Amino acid sequence: MSTNRLGKGLEALIRSKEEQFNEKNNDGKNSSSNILEIDLKNIFTNPNQPRKIFKESSIEHLKESISSKGVLSPITVREVGEKFEVIAGERRFRASKASGKKTIPAYIIKVQNDSDMLELALIENIQRENLNPIEEAKAYEKLSLKFKMSHSKIAASVGKSRVYVTNMIRLLKLPDKILQSLIKNEITSGHARAILQLKMPNLMLRLWKRILADSLSVRASETLVKEFVFETSIIKPKLKPPNRQKIKEDNHLENDLIEIFGTKVKLKKLKRGGTIEISFFSSDDLNRILDLLESIKK
The set of catalytic residues is 90
**Which candidate, 79, 169, 85, places its Cα nearest to that of 121?**
85
197/104 Cα distance (integer angstroms): 47
Burial state string for 212-250 with b = 16 or more CB within 10 A and e = fewer than 16: eeeebebeebbebbeebbeebeeeeeeeeeeeeeeeeeb
Domain definitions of the chain by residue range: 3-128, 174-232, 244-297
pLDDT in the model for residue 25? 37
The CATH class, in words, for 174-232 is mainly alpha
pLDDT in the model for residue 125? 67
> Is it the case that residue 267 has pLDDT exceeding 90?
no
pLDDT in the model for residue 31? 39
Supply the pTM of this predicted model. 0.55
129/208 Cα distance (integer angstroms): 25
- CB atoms closer than 10 angstroms to residue 42: 13
298/283 Cα distance (integer angstroms): 23
Report, at the CATH architecture level, how domain 3-128 is classified. Answer: Alpha-Beta Complex (3.90)
pLDDT in the model for residue 129? 57
Chain segment 215-254, per-residue pLDDT in tens: 999 999 999 888 887 766 544 455 555 555 666 666 777 8
**Which candidate, 95, 36, 87, places its Cα nearest to that of 71?**
95
3-128 matches 174-232 in fold? no
User: What's the mean pLDDT in 271-298?
Assistant: 77
Amino acid at 7: G
